[in-house]
Amino acid sequence: MLIKIHLVFEDEESGLPTVQEVAQLERRDLSPTTLVLTLSEAKTLLHRLQSHLVEQQVSVRQRQQLPCPSCQQPRRVKDNRHLVYRSLFGRLILRTLSIICHTCLLL
Ligand SMILES: [Zn+2]
């Protein structure tokens, strides 16, 4: 049996779902070792789940920050970098944006 675990994000404004696959587990025979998650499966599952959650939250936050707070014009990406974030379920590499408004020159 193939078990697919998906995460569904629903856009607050449009209500449209985005589905991302988190993991696939394969089970053939039912036994005490295949009945439950192994520690390795659980760690991998939580790491992937957290990666998708964080990636989605950062993406939404970055989109929210694009309009300039002063003139409301869309700001442009000046620079992007990667940030390493260490968590209980593993290391995450996040893309951070430096944005600037070319009208008011606000960062
Ligand atoms: Zn501006």
Distance 64 CA to ligand 1 centre (A): 14
What band does 106 get if pLDDT is binned at 50, 70 and 90?
Answer: low
Domain-located, residue 105: no
Asked whether residue 55 is domain-assigned, the answer is yes
106 located within any domain:
no
- 74 within domain boundaries: yes
Instruction: Tell me which residue range forms the domain holding 58.
Output: 2-100
Report if residue 68 sits inside a domain. yes
**CA 100 – ligand 1 centroid, Å:** 8
- CA–CA distance from 37 to each of 45, 49, 90 (Å)? 10, 15, 18
Distance 67 CA to ligand 1 centre (A): 8
Would 107 be classed as within a structural domain? no
Amino acid at 28: R
pLDDT digits (tens, 9 = 90+) for 30-88: 998 889 999 999 999 999 999 999 999 999 899 899 999 999 999 999 999 999 999 99
Residue 105 confidence (pLDDT) above 90: no
CA of 46 to the centre of ligand 1 (A): 40
